[in-house]
Amino acid sequence: MEYAVAALLGYLLGSIPVSLLVGRAHGVNLYETADGNPGAWNALQQLGPRRAWPAFVGDALKGAAGGLIGYALADITGAYAGVAAAMIGHALPLFARFRGGKSVMTFVGGAFAFSPLAAAVALGACVLASVGARSFAVGARVGVSGFPLVQLAFDPPRRVMATVGLMALIGLRFLTSRRTSGPATSATDAAHTT
């Protein structure tokens, strides 16, 4: 029962279309820009960092809140259930006609709920790589893709496998979004990671 409640609450949190709302607050419909992804990365491209930061924070908070609620209800397994459901809610949001983003920032926020030390190290790697490469896109890829390796230093392998399962949801979302929206241009394909 606790897992079902964690999943339901996580899904509802994930369904809040934060990036879409941030875009609309600035007169931009993210569905109609670039590849139509209503996520934080598209908000960043369309609005710039000063106006898009609430989209990044909001999408991450959905995952963190889903994970923390799940943890409170059913320990670490509940945390993973809450994060997974928040990611699904972000990808298929009840409150936005099931047209959502790719769940990367929701995963990032969730990582702080189920493995905060590893998430902090991965965030540090993201910052360093961003500065070194002078590209936030590169830093984001380093931080997110390197997270399971970092997590191995802090958590048992079975938890890292659960994390890989969450990342598979992101991969699945990338595959299905390309099918429905067609091939992206090389610029948007290289940049869209949320």
Q: What pLDDT, in 10s, does the model give residues 149-188? A: 999 999 999 999 999 999 998 888 888 875 444 334 333 3
Mean pLDDT score across all residues of the chain: 89
Q: What pLDDT, in 10s, does the model give residues 31-83? A: 998 878 888 889 999 999 899 999 999 999 999 999 999 999 999 999 999 99
Q: Are the CB atoms for 125 and 150 separated by under 8 Å?
A: yes
